[in-house]
Structure 1
Amino acid sequence: MTDTDAEAPLDLPVDGTELATYIAAKLCHDFISPSGAIVSGLDLLDDPSAQDMRDDALALIAQSARKMVALVHFARVAFGAATTSERFTARELQALVVGVTEGGRATLDWRVAEGEFTKPQARALINLAYLTVGALPMGGNAVIETRVENGALHLSGQADGARARLKPEALTGLNGLRLSEGLAGQWIQPYWLWLTVTEGGGRLTTTVEDGRVVLAAVMPV
Structure 2
Amino acid sequence: MTDAAFDTPLDSLPMDGPELASLIAAKLCHDFISPSGAIVSGLDLLNDPTAQDMRDDAISLITDSAKKMVALVQFCRVAFGAATTAERFTGEELRALVDGVTHGGRATLDWRLEVADFSKPQARAMVNLAYLTVAALPMGGQAVVTARTQGAGIVLEGLAEGARARLKPEAATGLAGQRLTEGLAGQWVQPYWLWLTIRQAHGTLNVEAVEGRVVLTGTIPS
TM-score by length of structure 2 reads: 0.95
**Counterpart in the other structure of 2:47:** 46
Do the aligned residues in 2 keep the contact of 1:91 with 1:114 (CA within 8 Å)? no
**Counterpart in the other structure of 1:157:** 158
The unaligned stretches of length 5 or more in structure 1 are none
Residue 187 in 1 paired to residue 188 in 2?
Answer: yes
**Counterpart in the other structure of 2:96:** 95
**Counterpart in the other structure of 2:128:** 127
**Counterpart in the other structure of 2:221:** 220
Indicate how the Cα distance of structure 1 residues 7 and 33 shifts in structure 2: closer, same or farther if over 3 A, else same.
closer
Cα distance, 1:121 vs. partner?
0.2
Cα distance, 1:11 vs. partner?
2.0
**Counterpart in the other structure of 2:66:** 65
Instruction: State the alpha-carbon separation in 2 of the partners of residues 192 and 151 from structure 1.
Output: 24
Indicate how the Cα distance of structure 1 residues 62 and 208 shifts in structure 2: closer, same or farther if over 3 A, else same.
same
Do the aligned residues in 1 keep the contact of 2:114 with 2:149 (CA within 8 Å)? no
Secondary structure of the equivalent of 2:199?
Answer: helix
Instruction: State the alpha-carbon separation in 2 of the partners of residues 30 and 190 from structure 1.
Output: 15
Indicate how the Cα distance of structure 1 residues 160 and 28 shifts in structure 2: closer, same or farther if over 3 A, else same.
same
Do the aligned residues in 2 keep the contact of 1:206 with 1:213 (CA within 8 Å)? yes
Residue 13 in 1 paired to residue 8 in 2?
Answer: no
Secondary structure of the equivalent of 1:147?
Answer: strand
**Counterpart in the other structure of 1:199:** 200
Instruction: State the alpha-carbon separation in 2 of the partners of residues 120 and 6 from structure 1.
Output: 19
**Counterpart in the other structure of 1:140:** 141
Letter in 2 for 1:123: R
Do the aligned residues in 1 keep the contact of 2:142 with 2:160 (CA within 8 Å)? yes
Instruction: State the alpha-carbon separation in 2 of the partners of residues 78 and 51 from structure 1.
Output: 40
The unaligned stretches of length 5 or more in structure 2 are 1-5
> Comparing both chains, which one has the higher relative contact order based on Cα–Cα distances under 8 Å and sequence gaps of 6 or more?
2
Instruction: State the alpha-carbon separation in 1 of the partners of residues 157 and 53 from structure 2.
Output: 49
Mean alpha-carbon deviation: is it higher for 203-212 or for 68-77?
Answer: 203-212
Letter in 1 for 2:39: I
Do the aligned residues in 2 keep the contact of 1:105 with 1:140 (CA within 8 Å)? yes
Letter in 2 for 1:71: L
Instruction: State the alpha-carbon separation in 2 of the partners of residues 190 and 7 from structure 1.
Output: 18
**Counterpart in the other structure of 1:34:** 35
Q: How many residues align?
A: 217
**Counterpart in the other structure of 2:109:** 108
- Please list the CA deviations of residues 111-137 of structure 1 after superposition, one character each: whole Å capped at 9, or x if unmatched: 113511010000000000000000001
